[in-house]
Chain A
């Protein structure tokens, strides 16, 4: 097991862990926007940057994004050195310039002592921080209906050709994972819309509630051995059926 020093405290790290995980284990909080437990680290938001050094580096230290830096044995980590604090402030200042009206970005900036951006605020405010969570979760599911398009200042998340994405299954994973909730959608018992595409809903054969889209059911049908009949009932009804079975099985037990 690797042992590291985080802000002066000795911490043990599991094999294969990245610095961010170890830092949080040590009880030190670090802001992040693009990190998600279900996805590979990406290093996009640059908020989790820290200073790392080693005893043998003679005082020399380098700044790294902790989410992507392996927690190697003997690393000495500082999350609050003056240049780390200053650099993180610059990142937040820039983010606030891009998203001046976004509550999450405003809060993060305020937590780091920035009330107002020192840059020219974006004349067309957006809530998208370009953390890439939506496109990455879409890739992870195996759909890849959306991606980032263009580059530099014009970069944005969009479906191909800015039209309703043919590959989208309407699972809403992108909208739900978005830290600023900036992907609009509507969903009801009969219809769901996202990215300009409309979906028909599948209803639970027991409670009658709409719980997934037809495209979602079709996408998962046969994948990893999931039979089509799995989508006859919703998760809640499945849980209820299982609980009933448990109580039947355990009836009389303990007497």
Chain B
């Protein structure tokens, strides 16, 4: 489960303290909120709108515009599989299939224990390393389906400590 509840005002206050209370801070505040909650909870968006004196409609507009923001709860670890041209040609499709086989989630989905969210991205700018798999902050290059399990487990270990 998500460890931080939406009603928890603590991270919110700390985030708002870091930024000037003006419309121009909106995206930075949303990025910090996304980092703290791993998604943008509806009630937090309303709080942000109030704090920065920006209409809720505008905050929702920005929150839905950027792919980097999610309005649905995300897994603890985000798995990104690059599906850019180079990665596609070098087999990112099979990498996705393998992840789906192991975790039971397709692109855009989150495991029921909120551990992982699988995303496909169009290009991470590391075509020489194709196909690229990013698990959390760890970038794996030249990934073969056989290497997927290890990459996922590594992240699991990091979380355990």
Q: Would A161 and B60 count as touching, CB distance under 8 A? A: yes
Tally of contact residues, B, Cβ under 8 A: 11
Q: Would A165 and B65 count as touching, CB distance under 8 A? A: no
When C-beta atoms are compared, the residue in chain A nearest to B59 turns out to be A160
Q: Which of B26-62 contact A (CB under 8 A)?
A: 42, 45, 55-61
List the A side residues contacting B57 at CB < 8 Å.
135, 138, 144-147, 159-160, 165, 167
| Contacts between chains A and B (CB distance < 8 A), count | 36
Interface centre among A135, A151, A160, A166 (most CB of B within 10 A): A160
Question: How large, as a class, is the contact surface on chain A?
Answer: 10 to 19
Q: Would A161 and B61 count as touching, CB distance under 8 A? A: no
| Secondary structure class of chain A's binding surface, majority of residues | loop
When C-beta atoms are compared, the residue in chain B nearest to A143 turns out to be B55
Q: Does B64 contact A (CB under 8 A)?
A: yes
Q: Which of A147-195 contact B (CB under 8 A)?
A: 147-151, 159-161, 165-167
List the B side residues contacting A166 at CB < 8 Å.
56
Q: How close is A122's CB to chain B, nearest CB, in angstroms?
A: 21
Q: Would B65 and A150 count as touching, CB distance under 8 A? A: yes
When C-beta atoms are compared, the residue in chain B nearest to A163 turns out to be B42
Cα A147 to Cα B61 in complex, Å, equals 6
Contact among B42, B55, B64, B65 with A167 in the assembled complex (CB-CB below 8 Å)? B55
Give 1 or 0 for each of A112-153: 1 = CB within 8 Å of chain B CB.
000000000000000000000001001000011111111100
Give 1 or 0 for each of B45-89: 1 = CB within 8 Å of chain A CB.
100000000011111110011000000000000000000000000
Q: How close is B129's CB to chain A, nearest CB, in angstroms?
A: 28
When C-beta atoms are compared, the residue in chain A nearest to B63 turns out to be A149
